A = this chain, B = another copy of it.
Amino acid sequence: MDDATEQVIIIGAGFGGLSAAKRLARSGIPFTLIDKRNHHLFQPLLYQVATAALAPSDIAVPIRAVLPPGKTDAQILMDRVDGINTEKKLVHTVGGARLRYSNLIVATGAQYTYFGNDDAWAPHAPSLKSLDDALNIRRRVLLAFERAETTEDPQLRKRLMTFVVIGGGPTGVETAGALAELAKATLAREFKNIDPRSARVVLIEAMDNVLTAYPEHLGRYAIDKLERLGVEVMTGAPVKAIDGHGVTLDDQAIETPNVFWCAGVIATPAGEWLGADMAKNGAVEVDAFLRPKGFDDVYVIGDVSSAKDKDGNPLAALAPVAKQQGDFAARMIIAKHHSLPEPTPFRYRDWGTMATIGRSAAVGKFGRLEVRGFFAWLLWGAVHVAYLVGFRNRLSVMINWLWSWLTYHKGARLITGPDEADVQSLDSTTAVEKELDKTVTNLEESVAR
């Protein structure tokens, strides 16, 4: 699709891009929103899909359903951007589209990095960014228990029942807590040859504490809570290697096929596309109006943006930052469109942040106020449900949570995907089936009945 018409283009339908799109849609300014997926994903709850508590459709909504092009001036394009020509003001996509922008909002987000070991480590330590990642991890976790149940080799069984989560940020802490809950409560009585409660869940962090974005004592509290859930927390433990055998640390090796990567995020390559100044994580340096130096028609927001607060400290890669930036960038464009005065510089309103630990505890920081424990956990649940897009998702998530909180059951404990039937090789079976198909063939008369 070659579109010569100048238009507002938004790249990415995460928290930032969607927030900008909603504001533009309300203003009546036409725009095109490009995303490589057809859905907006509520990332903060993705670990609950990976640990079988929620279904994919609980935490994702079709972009078209949020911004129906029939009711707004939005054009939604499912395609992957692979370059920006800033001279000709063109956005290039893998699908071959060349779209001309009048104003551009770049909201392409962050991605996991394995610190230069992508090729070697990534195949053995999947990360958690998309729904497919989450379904892949869910499959690996549930299959590990199934295989442990059928093997008679005690060494293999031990390895299969060891789970390592790397990275002590919110995602790592939440994933480790949820894995422990899955093994020690949900699956506890569901096997004959193994005791899932004896599963080993290890959380590995290179620094000396977890949740380092929070005050130190909240990190210590999280470690204490995780240990009570049965998680082994190893801090000050940088990873030396990951391979098919497991994880190697300075002083020990942990043998397991179940390694999950929640550490090390860098920005997507939009800075390269723009030829803009970048922070060391690849995020684009922007001014107080969220524009890279030298651009007055490009806004970079969310995790791919490196913005500073009024004291010159970089803003964290958080959903509320992205949302407020998206709204701000849209307001800049609306002001320009209507030749109104420019808004005052962007300023992040910090309403606080929270992280949860297992089924009854959380930590939170709201300015100088700190919360922890059961009340914090209830608050965490309420906040996350309130921010979910779409009434149906809210209702479904609440029911799933209430259900699994009361019963310890997880609603989405399904093994699907390419490995499904592949407990080992299937060649022999399919051969048998094909053989029978052929013998039956002769007996069939009609073609389509």
Cross-chain contact A70 with B392 (CB below 8 angstroms): no
Residues of B within 8 A of A191 (CB): 64, 69-70, 76
Cross-chain contact B437 with A190 (CB below 8 angstroms): no
8 Å CB contacts to B: which residues of A55-98? Answer: 55-58, 60, 62, 64-65, 68-71, 74-80, 82-83, 93-97
Interface magnitude class on chain A: 35 or more
Residue among B83, B95, B282 making CB contact with A440, cutoff 8 Å: B282
State whether the Cβ of A205 lies closer than 8 Å to any Cβ in chain B: yes
Assembly stoichiometry (copies): 2
Residues of B within 8 A of A434 (CB): 118
Residue among B114, B115, B448 making CB contact with A239, cutoff 8 Å: B448
State whether the Cβ of A421 lies closer than 8 Å to any Cβ in chain B: yes
State whether the Cβ of A420 lies closer than 8 Å to any Cβ in chain B: yes
Q: Which of A21-29, A129-137, A373-381 contacts B (4 or more CB under 8 A)?
A: A129-137
State whether the Cβ of A281 lies closer than 8 Å to any Cβ in chain B: yes
State whether the Cβ of A411 lies closer than 8 Å to any Cβ in chain B: yes
State whether the Cβ of A269 lies closer than 8 Å to any Cβ in chain B: yes
State whether the Cβ of A382 lies closer than 8 Å to any Cβ in chain B: no
Contact with B along A387-414 (1 / 0, CB 8 A): 0000010011001100100000101111
- Of chain B, the residue at the smallest CB distance from A191 is B69
Q: Which of A35-43, A293-301, A362-370 contacts B (4 or more CB under 8 A)?
A: A35-43
Cross-chain contact A70 with B409 (CB below 8 angstroms): no
Give bound CA distance, A281 to B445, whole Å.
11
Residues of B within 8 A of A337 (CB): none
- Of chain B, the residue at the smallest CB distance from A130 is B420
Asked if A37 meets B238 with Cβ closer than 8 Å, knowing A55-B55, A414-B62, A438-B116, the reply is no
Residue among B71, B282, B400 making CB contact with A436, cutoff 8 Å: B282
Residue among B263, B392, B440 making CB contact with A113, cutoff 8 Å: B440
Q: Which of A145-153, A216-224, A309-317 contacts B (4 or more CB under 8 A)?
A: A145-153
- Of chain B, the residue at the smallest CB distance from A395 is B399
Give bound CA distance, A412 to B61, whole Å.
8
10 additional A-B pairs beyond A36-B420, A80-B421, A281-B440, beta carbons within 8 Å, are A57-B413, A62-B413, A69-B192, A76-B190, A82-B432, A113-B441, A116-B444, A167-B449, A237-B448, A399-B399
